[in-house]
Amino acid sequence: MGSAVLETRDLTIRFGGQVAVDRVSCAFHPGTLTAIVGPNGAGKTTYFNLISGQLRASSGSVALRGRDITRMAAPLRARLGLGRAFQLTNLFPDLSVLENVRLAVQARAGVFLDFLSLAVDRTGLTEQAIGHLRRVRLLDRAGAAAAVLSHGDQRKLEVAMMLALEPEIFMFDEPTAGMSVDEVPVILDLIEAIKAEGDKTILLVEHKMDVVRRLADRVIVLHNGALVADGEPAEVVASAIVQEAYLGVRPADG
Amino acid sequence: MRRLISGDRPGHPLADLLMLALLVGLAFAPFLFPGTKSMAAASRICIFIVLAASYDILLGYTGIVSFAHTMFFAIGAYAVAIPLAQGGPSWGAIVGGELAGAAIAAVLAGLIALLSLRVQKIFFSMITLAVASLAGIVAAQWRDVTGGEDGLTFSLPAALGPGFRMVQEPFLGVRFDGRLVTYYLIFGVCLVLFGLMLRIVNSPFGRVLMAIRENEFRAEALGYRTVIYRTIASAQAAAIAAVAGGLMAILLRYNGPQSTLSFEIMVDILLMVVIGGMGTLYGPALGATVIVLAQYYLQPGLQAASDAVTGWPVLPQLFHPDRWLLWLGVLFILIVYFLPAGIIGTLRRRVR
């Protein structure tokens, strides 16, 4: 399995008196797809935000390839290979679909403070962006503004932007939520293709148990911010805690 | 041509035509519209095009609301005016003043942007308002250097004076004197600055500015350190505004709080950008033209209209020249109501 590329130790965040993520220690290995499950409000997205830097931990640490990144700003984490696709669609609404992806390609290419060349002259970047759009089957909408896309297409664009960053660690936050049935396979095939590359680390927040069974090598369960189960998909999905969380009475606080 | 405008066409046949007409009109203004008043108006249009466009880099492209833009305009104007007033006319004072003004403005703008690093947008705007007020107080109180409320009057090198003759005989009815040299100096510098701004907004850097405007959080998640981008954009806009301020001082042979630092100018800049269309650069250029023309010609135009309807009920009162601000207000309301994205902005959307 090799050494962990990403590791959280006692990672905790409090909002006022509420502990949203509670001492979560977990290591993630290259070539492994880890599904993170748990009821709504369990802290899954917050855990993602702590890893990719949108939130700062109250205590505990995040390490990337052994390097402590707990206090590092989000842009620098992205440059170190942490790619994130957001759950609530998070795009550049008034820019074209192509430009959304092109901006991600530009960041990946390390074109940072160039104000005297022309963006349109960098055809290599544009072609890469077109390639990523083709991969998520969104090329026919390349000229549309991101804001006018259907919900499913916006999710695809979100994924294309993460692909464009060519990260080592892919963080998918419910990538298929709200997608129509015929769109879901595109995303699932894509995730499988990334997994098949063998050296990428994939974190996947997912509610649909059939998706988890199909893709995951490992499942961890968050409940009220704490890590309550960790193991093979089959055994974790069958465990009492998951049965309670998903099939039993849903927590009133959502 | 494509390279000069950085591949960024106004984007609609009518918009293309308007901008071309504006370019030709300004390029040949001394020949098309001879006269002292029209030359002053044309010079002012050039300067305000640059000032409004540089503000558009902040407001329209990056989504930064700053009220300190006139402060940078004034810094450039004082940087030219002070050495000219103290040391007498020289080209060194003009060039050195322009460069120093741009440098001071850039550093100051960068510092303000960095200091306001962690505050929300609305508080950043408040900070710029406070800094701009402070600058107004400094300009008014530091009499030994700035001339206080009276400002500074100075002379320019002979080549920019009315007594200078390049060619003895008038050509096409236009005297080739120092005023013509002054106009083309202003026009040329403004043209280069506008081309530079088109380049900035169409560069990879400019695309990131738009990304910050659209969704700063997402830009960060892609790996862009948005604070650095906002700081550099602020510094660039401030430096360009400062150069425009220096040109204003040259045009007026005077600088004071009223000519470059007043809050009315800040409001004018905002209107220019909004009327023309935010985030288009061409829009603010058109907005600047409309507003400067209104400032110069709306009053005499109303006088003519008022004279034409003498004897009618109410109408002469309505068109009384003193009502020019009312008509300007009506014009703004109509434009904002019917063209919510501004003139060029709305035309561009039609094409898309």
Residue B8 is assigned to a structural domain of this protein: no
A72: closest CA of chain B, how far (Å): 12
Residue A87 is assigned to a structural domain of this protein: no
Q: What is the mean pLDDT of residues B296-318?
A: 84
Between A92, A102, A114, which is nearest B205 by CB? A114
The 10s digit of each residue's pLDDT in B197-240 is 999 999 999 999 999 999 999 999 999 999 999 999 999 999 99
Residue ranges making up the domain that contains B161: 13-351
Give the model's pLDDT for residue B201.
95
Q: How far apart are CA B211 and CA B61, in angstroms?
A: 9
Region of B317 on the Ramachandran plot (φ > 0 left; ψ -120 to 50 alpha; else beta): alpha
Q: How far apart are CA A41 and CA A227, in angstroms?
A: 13
The 10s digit of each residue's pLDDT in B45-96 is 999 999 999 999 999 999 999 999 999 999 999 999 999 999 989 999 999 9
Residue B198 is assigned to a structural domain of this protein: yes
Taking residue B349's Cβ as centre, other Cβ atoms within 10 Å add up to: 14
A157 shares its domain with A192: no
Chain A hits for B60, CB-CB cut-off 8 Å, are none
Chain A hits for B215, CB-CB cut-off 8 Å, are 90-93
By the CB < 8 Å criterion, does B225 face chain A? Answer: yes
Q: How far apart are CA A220 and CA A44, in angstroms?
A: 10
Tally the domains of chain B. 1
Taking residue B240's Cβ as centre, other Cβ atoms within 10 Å add up to: 28
B230: closest CA of chain A, how far (Å): 11
Q: How far apart are CA A68 and CA A53, in angstroms?
A: 12
Chain A hits for B230, CB-CB cut-off 8 Å, are none
Instruction: Note whether B214 contacts A90, CB cutoff 8 Å.
Output: no
Residue of A nearest to B230 (CA): A113
Boundary-marking domain end, from A139, A166, A193: A166
A154 shares its domain with A179: no
Residue B154 C-beta-side C-alpha neighbours within 13 Å: 31
Confidence of residue B322 (pLDDT cuts 50, 70, 90): confident
Residue A249 is assigned to a structural domain of this protein: yes
Residue B126 is assigned to a structural domain of this protein: yes
A175 shares its domain with A159: no
Taking residue A123's Cβ as centre, other Cβ atoms within 10 Å add up to: 8
Instruction: Note whether A107 contacts B222, CB cutoff 8 Å.
Output: yes
Between A103, A117, A120, which is nearest B222 by CB? A103
Region of B148 on the Ramachandran plot (φ > 0 left; ψ -120 to 50 alpha; else beta): left
Instruction: Note whether A115 contacts B214, CB cutoff 8 Å.
Output: no
Give the model's pLDDT for residue B352.
60
Instruction: Note whether B223 contacts A75, CB cutoff 8 Å.
Output: yes
Q: How far apart are CA B324 and CA B295, in angstroms?
A: 9
Residue of B nearest to A123 (CA): B204
Residue B7 is assigned to a structural domain of this protein: no
A vs B, Cβ pairs < 8 A, gives 95
A65 shares its domain with A103: no
A106 shares its domain with A211: no
Q: What is the mean pLDDT of residues B127-153?
A: 92
- DSSP character at residue B166: S
B186: closest CA of chain A, how far (Å): 23
A160 shares its domain with A120: yes
Chain A hits for B219, CB-CB cut-off 8 Å, are 92, 103
Q: What is the mean pLDDT of residues B124-145?
A: 92
Taking residue B115's Cβ as centre, other Cβ atoms within 10 Å add up to: 13
Q: 3-class secondary structure for B36-51?
A: HHHHHHHHHHHHHHHH
Cα–Cα separations (whole angstroms), residue B72 to A60, B56, B79, B123, B242: 46, 14, 10, 20, 5
Give the model's pLDDT for residue B223.
93
Provide, for chain A, the percentages of residues in helix, strand and coil under a 3-state DSSP scheme, each rounded to the nearest 5. 40, 25, 35
Tokens of A72: 């590092």
Taking residue A69's Cβ as centre, other Cβ atoms within 10 Å add up to: 19
- Mutation site for A-interface testing, chosen from B2, B193, B203 by largest number of A Cβ within 10 Å: B203
Residue A218 is assigned to a structural domain of this protein: yes
Strand partners, A83: A170
Q: What is the CATH number for A234?
A: 3.40.50.300
Tally the domains of chain A. 2
Residue partners of A248: CB distance under 8 A and separation at least 6: none
Residue ranges making up the domain that contains A25: 1-81+170-254
Residue B71 is assigned to a structural domain of this protein: yes
Q: How far apart are CA A26 and CA A94, in angstroms?
A: 38
Instruction: Note whether A54 contacts B218, CB cutoff 8 Å.
Output: no
Residue of A nearest to B233 (CA): A115
A153 shares its domain with A178: no
A157 shares its domain with A231: no
Could you list the pLDDT tens digit for every one of the 254 residues in chain A? 458 899 999 999 999 889 999 999 999 999 999 999 988 888 999 999 999 999 999 999 999 999 999 999 999 999 999 999 988 778 999 999 999 999 999 999 988 888 888 888 889 999 999 999 999 989 999 999 999 998 889 989 999 999 999 999 999 999 888 888 888 888 899 899 999 988 899 999 988 888 888 899 999 999 889 998 898 888 887 777 777 766 554 444 33
Boundary-marking domain end, from A144, A166, A188: A166
Q: How far apart are CA A213 and CA A148, in angstroms?
A: 33
Instruction: Note whether A119 contacts B236, CB cutoff 8 Å.
Output: no
The 10s digit of each residue's pLDDT in B151-187 is 999 989 888 887 787 777 777 777 778 889 999 999 9
Q: How far apart are CA B141 and CA B324, in angstroms?
A: 33
Tokens of A83: 């790619």
Instruction: Show which of residues 191-210 on chain B sit within 8 Å of chain A, judged by CB atoms.
Output: 199-200, 202-208, 210
Residue partners of B82: CB distance under 8 A and separation at least 6: B97, B145, B146, B152
- Average pLDDT value over all residues in chain B: 91
By the CB < 8 Å criterion, does B218 face chain A? Answer: yes
A149 shares its domain with A25: no
Chain A hits for B200, CB-CB cut-off 8 Å, are 115-116
Which parts of chain A fold into alpha helices (H)? 44-52, 74-79, 97-108, 123-135, 151-164, 184-196, 209-215, 233-238, 240-242
Residue of B nearest to A89 (CA): B218
CA max distance for chain B: 69
Q: How far apart are the first and last CA of chain B?
A: 23
Chain B hits for A84, CB-CB cut-off 8 Å, are 221
Boundary-marking domain end, from A110, A140, A166: A166
Nearest to B29 by CA among B49, B46, B15: B46
Q: What is the CATH number for B98?
A: 1.10.3470
B3: closest CA of chain A, how far (Å): 9
Instruction: Note whether A115 contacts B225, CB cutoff 8 Å.
Output: no
